[in-house]
Amino acid sequence: MPTILITGSNGLVGRELIRAFDKLPQYTVIATSLSPDKIMQPDVAFHQLDVTNRKEVAELFGDLLPQVVIHSAAISAPDTCETDKALCNKVNIEGTKNVADACKAIGAKMLFISTDFVFDGDAGPYKEEDAPSPISYYGWSKLEGEKITQTLDNWSIVRTVLVYGDTVGLNRSNFVTWVKGALEKGEKIKVVNDQQRTPTYAPDLAYGIVKATEWLVAGKANEIWHISGPEPLISVYDMALQIAAYYNLDSTLIEPIASASLNQPAKRPPVTGFILSKAEKHLNYKPIEFINGLEKLAL
Ligand SMILES: NC(=O)c1ccc[n+]([C@@H]2O[C@H](COP(=O)([O-])OP(=O)(O)OC[C@H]3O[C@@H](n4cnc5c(N)ncnc54)[C@H](OP(=O)(O)O)[C@@H]3O)[C@@H](O)[C@H]2O)c1
């Protein structure tokens, strides 16, 4: 029975992964995160782990001997990475190196979670073979993480796009909870209409990662997978309008704006989104559309 160790289990993606793997009797699941356990999933052992602490990572992996490590922990906020490059380097690059080296030492396979921000956004939607060209420090740090991952003998990289899902009990919000919360309070919000994405329902991403893990465990070729919501591309502003319509909230509170007028520290790639044909063909990946994700979320 393969043991799967997941880093960043208290995060939006990490928690969804714990839930998905815990349902599968063929795996033993170990959750790890920087802060104390927020998941409290029965049957899942939790260990507090700072991936920037090289010795701690090596010792924990050496004690637990997982067959697969899914590395989800990261500084995931692009603006934090842009304004605190030292922290971004430490977690997203050195932390990934610590995880990769500890995997090598025990012969574990590694699956790294990466992002559409490795692309410049000039020519989305993207397929796996397209050349990365990040325009933000976050995107660059994640691309470095991909390169580190590819130094293992057995690796997998899953890139994803704008994930939305259940954030109850977590430290963070996501786009759906932010828009819904603001409109419910009658607050005006500004939302960019020049960024297009294929937003990803968190349980769909978890399913795609489970399938990519099966591929890795089966000893098939090392692969990059694009796992996101389906095409067509949708602008972030249109996502906000769909959220307002779905929850019967006042869409006139949403002001469309251009990205440049937001003056955010990190540049965002204008048009990303993914072409999913590889994952559809090999992983039987069939994601749901944004509107169906809202229905399933039932916030
Ligand atoms: N969310 C998206 O839209 C999106 C899109 C593309 C790619 N991704 C990628 O998906 C992965 C997961 O993202 P997410 O949305 O789940 O992010 P998140 O909610 O911000 O969670 C990140 C997790 O990383 C953990 N972490 C931070 N520093 C750490 C450290 N030094 N040691 C160990 N753990 C640490 C945090 O732990 P604690 O909470 O315990 O402090 C947190 O739970 C990331 O690699 C991100 O780049 C996310």
Contact (Cβ atoms closer than 8 angstroms) between residue 191 and residue 255: yes
pLDDT score recorded for residue 269: 98
pLDDT score recorded for residue 238: 98
Residue from 34, 94, 178, 204 whose mutation best tests the ligand 1 pocket (most atoms within 8 A of CB): 34
Distance set, CA 215 to CA 206, 208, 220, 222, 275 (Å): 14, 11, 6, 9, 20
Which residue is closest in CA terms to ligand 1's atom 21? 11
In tens, the pLDDT along 207-246 reads 999 999 999 999 999 999 999 999 999 999 999 999 999 9
Give the nearest ligand 1 atom to 163 CA: 3
- Extract the tokens encoding 196: 């297009």
* Ligand 1 mean position, distance from CA 63 (Å): 24
Which residue is closest in CA terms to ligand 1's atom 30? 50
DSSP letter assigned to residue 10: T
Residues with a CB atom less than 6 Å from ligand 1: 7-8, 10-14, 33-35, 49-52, 72-74, 76, 91, 95, 113, 115, 142, 160, 162-163, 171-172
DSSP secondary structure string for all residues of 86-99 = HHHIIIIIIHHHHH
Residues of the chain with pLDDT below 50 are none
* Ligand 1 mean position, distance from CA 251 (Å): 31
Ramachandran region, residue 248 (left: φ > 0; alpha: ψ -120 to 50; beta: rest):
left
End-to-end Cα separation, the chain, in angstroms? 35
Question: Cα–Cα distance between 268 and 167 in angstroms, integer?
Answer: 23
Question: Cα–Cα distance between 180 and 290 in angstroms, integer?
Answer: 15
Backbone angles phi and psi of 158, in degrees to 5: -110, 115
pLDDT score recorded for residue 299: 66
Question: Cα–Cα distance between 163 and 178 in angstroms, integer?
Answer: 13
N residues, the chain? 299
Which residue is closest in CA terms to ligand 1's atom 47? 76
- Extract the tokens encoding 262: 């937001």
Question: Cα–Cα distance between 183 and 168 in angstroms, integer?
Answer: 18
Whole-model pTM: value is 0.97
Coil, strand or helix at 175: helix
* Ligand 1 mean position, distance from CA 73 (Å): 4
Q: Tell the residue number behind the tokens 């815990």, with chain if given.
A: 22
The total of other beta-carbon atoms located within 10 Å of residue 262's CB is 11
Residue from 76, 81, 166 whose mutation best tests the ligand 1 pocket (most atoms within 8 A of CB): 76
Backbone angles phi and psi of 142, in degrees to 5: -70, -35
Ordered by where they begin, the domains of the chain are 3-164+200-226 (3.40.50.720), 175-196+231-271+289-297 (3.90.25.10)
pLDDT score recorded for residue 41: 86
